[in-house]
Structure formats: C-alpha cells, structure tokens
Amino acid sequence: MTLTFKVTLTDEALEDLRRLEDFAIERELASETPDWTVPERALNAIRTGLGVLAWSPLTCRKAELGNGQSRELIVPFGATGYVVLFEVVGQAVVVGAVRHQREDDYGP
C-alpha cells in the first residue's frame, strides 16, 4: 500500500509562484540574450518538486521555524534553485511559501 499526501498551496505560496515567474520574465527582458524557456522551466522544476511532496514529504529536511513542524524542500534549478516551505498535517501537505535560494530566509 502506498501512502499519499494531499498537497495544497496557501494563497501566499500561490502569490510567491506568480512573483517568481514575474521575476524570471523581467530577468529575461533585461538580458541581451534572453532565453524565454527559463520562466516555464523554473515553474516546471517547482511543480516537479511539489509532486515529490505527495508521496515523500517526510524525507525533506526540517526547517528552523518556531513551531517545529515545518519542513523545506530544495528544488534545484540552474546554479541555484528554490526552497519550498511546508508543513505535514496528517495526510495533508500545506505549502506556505516558495522562495528563490538567494532570497532572504523565511521570516514572520
């Protein structure tokens, strides 16, 4: 029997994804040699990472936040990547934030 988890994203996490996509587009607009596949490839990498959370969220490292229940998934992309912050609540995975690895850490 395979244990699966239901993955949901908070409104904040959805806004993070929109912000990250906008940033990737703006970066390519400013580039002398834009690669218009980058924004979609980045979102696909994040989407693939979120898929891992449906069957294996407890393998992700614990995040150092106040409640002790938070975990983070590292999503490699290019030379850096993204960090997905989430909590496992029963059979649910609740994604609270998605950040680029070069952004400031998660805070209150």
CB atoms under 10 Å from CB of 13, counted, come to 19
Q: Which of 68, 77, 20 is nearest to 48 (CA)?
A: 77
Per DSSP bridges, beta strands 80-89 and 6-9 are unpaired
Per DSSP bridges, beta strands 70-77 and 80-89 are antiparallel
Q: How do residues 86-99 score in pLDDT, each as one tens digit?
A: 999 999 999 999 99
Residue 63 has a pLDDT of 87
CB atoms under 10 Å from CB of 26, counted, come to 11
* Residue 72 clears pLDDT 50, i.e. is over it: yes
* Residue 104 clears pLDDT 80, i.e. is over it: no
Q: How do residues 11-30 score in pLDDT, each as one tens digit?
A: 999 999 999 999 889 989 99
Structural domains in the chain, CATH included, are 6-100 (3.30.2310.20)
The predicted model scores a pTM of 0.86
